[in-house]
Amino acid sequence: MFTKKSSHKPVLPGFGLSMGFTTFYLSLLVFLPLSALVLKSFELDWAGFVKVVASERAIASYQLTFGSSFVAALINLVFGLLVAWVLVRYTFPGKKIIDALVDLPFALPTAVAGIALTAIYAPNGWIGQYFYQLGIKIAYTPIGVTLALVFIGLPFVVRTVQPVLEDLEQELEEAAASLGANRLQIFCRVIFPALIPSLLTGFALAFARAIGEYGSVVFISGNMPFRTEITPLLIMSRLEEFDYAGAAALGTVMLMISFLLLLLINALQHWSQQRHGGAQ
Amino acid sequence: MSAGSGQFQPRRATTEPLWLRALLLTFALGFLALFLVLPLIIVFGEAFSKGWQVYVAAVTEPAAAHAIKLTLIAAAIAVPCNAIFGLAASWAIAKFQFRGRQFLITLIDLPIAVSPVIAGLSLMLIFGARGWWGEWLNEHDLQVMFAVPGIVLATIFITFPYVARELIPLMQQQGREAEEAALTLGASGWQTFLRVTLPSVKWALLYGLILCNARAMGEFGAVSVVSGKIREQTNTMPLHIEILYNEYQFAAAFAVSSLLALLALLTLVLKSSLEWRAARDLAEAEACRRPE
């Protein structure tokens, strides 16, 4: 499958060894288990498969998973651009610390994030109690799920937009200003178009990550079937009922969606690099 | 906006008015305070809410101590395995052109997008009692699921992209001239790799390792499928936190969480210092290239 293009004369050694090891490792860890997953779902006939993946409970879980992931990724799109903008363009005390802190959701275990967010937004929590008095429940509702997914996806947009914004040539803005554009026009017509590919990449990454998220959501969601049950959790409960084929069927659907999203992200990144490289 | 009013302000045209800057800064910092700083404060605040003694007892009781040990073991196996994989994959992908290269990169990213629950489930379908190799493993008295090997495998699955993802873009950017020069001068392949390639990517490699380690120690979803959650046998730190939390032992749950939060903060500090060193090395290399 992976053969070198013959046009390139091999100069460096070690292609066979490194490629062989990579292929072996990936086959054992990715191909083999994931094909077991897909094959297991084939144990169901088509009607059975549809019955599992299109059951009312499954559809409710897709709605919650994709809906809250989409909203969370949108929130991250707006605030991620804002944070990247502030980190690149402005100077303020503690900037380096805040820049480093943006990666916290990558480094903090999801279970820790989950219980901390629940402690904040539960009806008796630090912030949740005030909303509860107003009659708004945050934890154990789709709002809580969305907040957890905002936390999980926070670094993606910031980290994809930040380098592009850093490399943006200020001369272009100066040129636009000298031609009479005001600041808003410069942002909308000069800066924003240059950021679109990286914004979309960051959005897609945050969305893809949010769809599969389990650890943080499981604590804050309350896990009620039909209402606050995300799809990974539904897979988990199928497993606990020893319904392996049903779990595998749901897993296969999720896997296909994740894979398609990844292909989209790679295409976006490719586009982003070309645009970015071409501008220089 | 005219640039010539009053005193000379050379960059006035390419920045926002002061009130807008203040507003944007407030929104950005407020968002980060709410989503990043507050959860951290909560973790440490709740951990110490019942005093030092409860904290110390929570992190030293046998079940917690065992969970910490198991987490360390899993990371100690998973991280080196993924480091070797990361080096091999980045060498093949960054230094050579071949068909399917882009597809391979997508495949390496897969664990970041795939739900950890699916990762755990897939491993179970191979190694579980009713899985593909279940019977064979059973006959030879090897237990993978609901035991340490399963936890290690799940951890490896979830964390294998991190080293490779740090190394691939850097190695691609560095090209192959340095390696080709070393080979022309008579170095062997391994010498070239160890003395030319490895030193030039060392900071990225280290960063990949610490990030991989942080994810490995904190992995929850995949491990919770394959571990069986047997206390003092197959319980890792994140699973121990879940059990304590579900038993309403909140102070203890946050105490164990605070250890993982410290690890996360340490990871961020190391990351910043590694980035600083990488930038310094790059500046030095640039300075060497321009002798006059």
Taking 60 as the threshold, does the pLDDT of residue A8 lie above it? no
Taking 60 as the threshold, does the pLDDT of residue B77 lie above it? yes
The length of chain A in residues reads 280
Is B123 in CB contact (< 8 Å) with chain A? yes
Cα–Cα nearest to B96, from B179, B187, B185, B195: B179
- Is residue B159 situated within a structural domain? yes
CA angle A73, A74, A78 (to 5 degrees): 115
Higher pLDDT, A11 or A203: A203
Which ipTM did the prediction report?
0.88
Q: Which conformational region is residue A140 in: left (phi greater than 0), alpha (psi within -120 to 50 degrees), or beta?
A: left
Cβ atoms of A61 and A229 closer than 8 Å: yes
Q: CA nearest A15 in B: which residue?
A: B92
Per-residue pLDDT reduced to its tens digit, B150-182:
999 999 999 999 999 999 999 998 888 889 989
Which of B21, B116, B124 is opposite residue A212, by nearest beta carbon? B116
- Is residue B232 situated within a structural domain? yes
CB–CB of B116 and A232 under 8 A? yes
Which of B117, B123, B254 is opposite residue A115, by nearest beta carbon? B254
CATH of the domain at B173: 1.10.3720.10
Is B97 in CB contact (< 8 Å) with chain A? yes
Taking 90 as the threshold, does the pLDDT of residue B14 lie above it? no
Is B117 in CB contact (< 8 Å) with chain A? yes
- Is residue B229 situated within a structural domain? yes
Distance CA A183, CA B264 (A): 39
* Mean confidence (pLDDT) of chain A: 90
- Is residue B121 situated within a structural domain? yes
CB–CB of B220 and A21 under 8 A? no
DSSP three-state, residue A180: coil
Which of A29, A79, A213 is opposite residue B156, by nearest beta carbon? A29
Q: How far is B225 from chain A (nearest CA, A)?
A: 8
- Is residue B152 situated within a structural domain? yes
Per-residue pLDDT reduced to its tens digit, B104-153:
988 898 888 899 999 999 999 999 888 889 888 888 888 888 889 999 99
Q: CA nearest A125 in B: which residue?
A: B42
Distance CA B29, CA B31 (A): 5
Mean pLDDT, range A240-260, rounded to an integer: 92
Q: CA nearest B258 in A: which residue?
A: A112
What class, spelled out in words, does domain A45-279 have in CATH?
Answer: mainly alpha
Which of A174, A211, A239 is opposite residue B14, by nearest beta carbon? A174
Distance CA B195, CA B197 (A): 6
- Is residue B56 situated within a structural domain? no
Which residue shows structure tokens 């203890």? B252
Our count of domains for chain B comes to: 1
Cβ atoms of B202 and B274 closer than 8 Å: no
CB–CB of A98 and B29 under 8 A? yes
Cα–Cα nearest to B27, from A79, A96, A84: A79
Please report the pLDDT score of residue B163 as a whole number. 95
Is B82 in CB contact (< 8 Å) with chain A? no
The domain in which residue B229 lies consists of: 69-236
Q: How far is A34 from chain B (nearest CA, A)?
A: 6
For testing contact with chain B, the best of A3, A18, A87 (most B CBs within 10 A): A18
Please report the pLDDT score of residue B13 as a whole number. 62
Per-residue pLDDT reduced to its tens digit, A74-116:
999 999 999 999 999 999 999 999 999 999 999 999 999 999 9
